Structure 1
Amino acid sequence: MDGQPVRAADTAAPSYFLIESKGNWAGPGAGTFLLDAVALAEAGHRVRVYLVEDGVLSAAGRDVPEVERLAGAGVEILVDDFSAAQRALDAGRLSPHVKLAGMGTVAAALAEDGCTGVWH
């Protein structure tokens, strides 16, 4: 040891809050962004994905491959409650791996020390 105190921030893995606004049909960019979330989680980082606007449609249904992959990697998957309501998607029509959340959740997450936010 070099005599320097170890701070809590030095020992914690960075966290990422990734916001996806595009549906999975919007081209390869949306799918690649979600794969980036998987890679970050597999590297040991805390990762949360927030699906907003047309991104919420990616969580519609019971067996969505992209959502299954995220959940399998330990990614917390949040769906914007307002965007879901605007598209007539209630909790019963969404993957069981997701949780409805509001903008307050986004604000709190992005205000956390060590959290990096990325919007796609």
Structure 2
Amino acid sequence: MPDFVLIESSGPASGPAGARFLGDAATLARAGHLVRLVLVQEGVTAALPGAQPALTEFLAYGAELWVDRYALAQRGLEADRLPARARLVGMDEVADELLAPGTRVVWH
């Protein structure tokens, strides 16, 4: 079970706040926390190649990246464009994580 579940719902096109949020996620992972980043809604676009450089740093620390399967499909994006370590998930899996005892959730 992760120490933190961070949920990003805004994509890179919405401004620099998403990059700062991913930077915070990387900082938590670098500090040794188990961090799972869940990309939902427009946030799934952050997983596209080159869209969010902070994502590379985040993954370098061994953190987990989950991408909402439904949101990806709704935007006509293909899963093969995601980083190799990205995991496609449904909202049922995300809900299980949010409701797990001891999980700290931050939604952006």
Both structures adopt the same fold (TM-score exceeding 0.5): yes
Counterpart for residue 39 of structure 1: 27
SS of alignment partner, residue 49 of structure 1: strand
Q: How many residues are matched?
A: 107
Aligned-pair distance for 1:24? 1.6
Match status 1:103 vs 2:91 = yes
Bigger Rg, which one: 1
Match status 1:57 vs 2:45 = yes
Counterpart for residue 86 of structure 1: 74
Unaligned runs of 5+ in 1: 1-13
The higher-RCO structure (CA 8 Å, 6+ apart) is 2
SS of alignment partner, residue 25 of structure 1: helix
Seq. identity, %: 43
Aligned-pair distance for 1:62? 7.3
d(CA) in 2 for partners of 1:54, 1:62 = 16
Question: What is the alpha-carbon root mean square deviation over aligned residues?
Answer: 1.7
d(CA) in 2 for partners of 1:58, 1:36 = 15
Runs of 4+ with >4 A deviation? none
